[in-house]
Amino acid sequence: MNPILSVIFLSILGVVGDFFIKQSGNGEKFMNLKWFIPGMLMYVFLSFGWFYVMKQIKLSSLAVVYSLSTVLLLVAIGVFYFHEQLNIREVVGVVLAVLSVCLLSRFI
């Protein structure tokens, strides 16, 4: 599998884990285990995935791709799930983030 796609997949796994952990703290209970356990399992799988990806990619390149893909995924959740609006500067930032990943993928 392409290392960039592996990092993006792991970003998706991390964002889904973050979503579950966030949901586990919402509500009356201190912690809702039906949300916490899937989130915790996502983090366990994520740690094994990082082990294999870090063997293939330089850490500096991995950090850039992971950060940008995580930000893009969180923006997508904000826009489509929480119905947030993006202003023009935020749209330009998203476009530049996508371009930076495209440029970086040519040098990995």
pLDDT in tens, 45-70: 999 998 888 888 888 778 888 888 88
Distance CA 97, CA 55 (A): 25
* Inter-residue contact 65 to 8 (CB < 8 Å): yes
Distance CA 31, CA 38 (A): 13
What's the per-residue H, E or C state across 18-61? HHHHHHHCCCCCCCCHHHHHHHHHHHHHHHHHHHHHHCCCCHHH
Average pLDDT over residues 70-82: 85
DSSP 87: -
Read off the pTM: 0.71
